[in-house]
Amino acid sequence: MKNNNKHNGFRYGENFLTIGTALKLARNDIKGFLTPETISRVQANRDVVLKIVHKKKVVYGINTGFGPLCTSLISKEDTKKLQYNLLMSHSVGVGNFIDKEIAKLMLILKLHALCKGYSGIAVETVERILWHIDNDVIPLVPEQGSVGASGDLAPLSHLFLPLIGMGKVWYNDEQVPMDVVLKKLDMKPVDLGPKEGLALINGTQFMAAHAILLLEKLQNCLDHADIIAAMNLEAMMGSIKPFDEELHQLRPHSGGIYVASRMRMLLSHSEIVKSHKKCSRVQDPYSLRCIPQVHGASRNAWLHLKETILTEINSVTDNPIIFSEDKTISGGHFHGQPIALPIDYAGLAAAEIGNISDRRIYLSMMESVPGLPKLLMEHTGLNSGFMILQYSTAALVSENKSLCFPASADSIPTSLGQEDHVSMGSIAVRKSLRIVENLEKILGIEMMCAAQGFDFRKPMKSNVLLDDMHDLIREHIPFADTDRIFSEDIENAIKLLQSKKIIKRLNETAKKHHIHLKNEDDEVFGI
């Protein structure tokens, strides 16, 4: 539901932008707007640029060429033409178009940065960007072509071609040339002035927008991983002792403490836990015993990325920065290294969740697990049971390993050596998103295995939360007593995970049974 109340909306250039707020803006759950103070600040900074042009002061990107052409002076008369040439010449992206939502996030992030009032942009230009956001007229942006250093030059050029009446946009859910849209709406292109083109395409918004989606998807996987692992632990009659609160205070990593707390909550008052409290097994395999340590480490990596991206999306990342007529600085805020490293780290963290999930899947199918049939099906031989599901997770885990080589470890000089070190953050974030998408598939398969094993513990009950989660899974994926086409079940499991229905149901069930789910670190590990 759209919220048009400015008091409840987001003030570009003024409010602190969170990951959750950025997603709400992109999904039209809240509106963003420009305050009179923001407009005044942007205009004042624009006036500085116009004075520089009028007085013929030499400032990079205002009246000079770009990159290795920074020593080429541009006449006052040609400073406007320079901006148009910049957008056109830098629109060299290739490959598939990025998701519409990510492109919209790019617009939101760029608008927020421009409204800080250090980029020399015109008020009319920021107003047009806001129009694109509010009316869901979203540019088509190719996914390849950025090296993540001199700003995301190619993707941002494509993002802003529509401002000058070029390129294509999503309009009424169709891909339409922007000039056609302008003609249909009786609108004119923006008349870009000095510095504006450079302000638009210098920045890290391609990387940052992808990272926002990465954070959301990975958080969802981490939340589900704990629930699925708890259910699988119950199926395999694992011990609750490794999640002891006092134990984890001796190694107080925040992620580990958080996951251990969630596991205790998910397993408390379980009949299954009580049934094997005095069994002869002294310790479980690592994939069960070390859930807080492994899941927790990935939580910490996620948190590092979240904190870094929060700083990034509330920063000014273009070049040069306009402080005053006498203070313009060509710096390096466009360089993607600060976010490229934690993005690669987050990809590795996601891959490890998939790795340990695959180990639990493998473990659940072994004959040695008390009370569970080999391959999680009673009549194997004629039936292969869940054997080949683990082949799929093994393939996905292996693929993720190949994707874990850090893109940020590479650099290649561009711009005739002027830009001689680049971050490759754009490659890192696209690659990390692929890892998380594979992780969703792995966890979907573990969900199926955990639910299947869970059924063999009946009539014993688990925690009321896990019992209800199992019921929800069974609404989408029935128990398998014989072989069938499991790919359909896998697809349903993945969709169930992506829908966040399990998380919603967990909260509803907890509320219904007066179970206190909240943890003091929930806000820290939330978006």
Per-residue model confidence as pLDDT tens digits over 372-390: 999 999 999 999 999 999 9
Looking at residue 316, its pLDDT comes to: 96
- Residue 5 scores a pLDDT above 60: no
Looking at residue 67, its pLDDT comes to: 59
- What is the greatest pairwise CA distance in the chain? 87
**265 Rama class: left (phi>0) / alpha (psi -120 to 50) / beta:** alpha
pLDDT grade for 266, boundaries at 50, 70 and 90: very high
Looking at residue 68, its pLDDT comes to: 57
DSSP, res 17: P
Q: Tally Cβ neighbours within 10 Å of residue 89.
A: 12
Catalytic residues: 60, 90, 202, 286, 289, 334, 419
- Residue 95 scores a pLDDT above 80: yes
Cα separation, 223 vs 266, in Å, equals 12
**Dihedral sign of CA atoms 405, 408, 409, 415 in order:** positive
Q: How far apart are the first and last CA of the chain?
A: 20
More reliable by pLDDT, 524 or 255: 255
CB contact at 8 A, 208 and 309: yes
For 28-78, write each residue's pLDDT tens digit: 999 999 999 999 999 999 999 998 888 878 776 676 665 555 566 667 667
- Can you tell me which residue has the tokens 């206190």? 516
Q: Tally Cβ neighbours within 10 Å of residue 471.
A: 12
CB contact at 8 A, 387 and 302: no
pTM of this structure? 0.94
Looking at residue 1, its pLDDT comes to: 37
pLDDT grade for 10, boundaries at 50, 70 and 90: very high
Looking at residue 516, its pLDDT comes to: 81
Looking at residue 24, its pLDDT comes to: 97
The domains located in the chain, with CATH, are 6-203 (1.10.275.10), 210-318+340-412+425-512 (1.20.200.10)
More reliable by pLDDT, 371 or 205: 205
Looking at residue 319, its pLDDT comes to: 86
Looking at residue 149, its pLDDT comes to: 82
Looking at residue 3, its pLDDT comes to: 42
- Residue 7 scores a pLDDT above 80: no
Looking at residue 276, its pLDDT comes to: 85
Mean pLDDT over 114-126 rounds to 97
What DSSP letter does each residue of 92-107 carry, written as one string?
--EEEEPPHHHHHHHH
Looking at residue 71, its pLDDT comes to: 60
Q: Which residues lie closer than 8 Å to 39 by C-beta, 6 or more apart? A: 123
For 136-160, write each residue's pLDDT tens digit: 999 999 999 998 887 799 999 999 9
Looking at residue 515, its pLDDT comes to: 86
Looking at residue 116, its pLDDT comes to: 98
- Residue 434 scores a pLDDT above 70: yes
Residue 180, CA distances (Å) to 11, 107, 177, 184 in order:
31, 21, 5, 6
At 18, which amino acid appears?
Answer: T
Mean pLDDT over 214-225 rounds to 98
Mean pLDDT, the chain, integer: 93
Cα separation, 46 vs 351, in Å, equals 46
Looking at residue 70, its pLDDT comes to: 58
Strand order, beta sheet including 174-177? 138-139, 168-171, 174-177
More reliable by pLDDT, 276 or 104: 104
Looking at residue 96, its pLDDT comes to: 97
Cα separation, 158 vs 331, in Å, equals 24
Percent of the chain whose pLDDT exceeds 90: 80
For 299-347, write each residue's pLDDT tens digit: 999 999 999 999 999 999 998 899 999 898 988 898 999 999 999 999 9
At 327, which helix (H) or strand (E)?
A: strand 327-329
Mean pLDDT over 406-412 rounds to 89
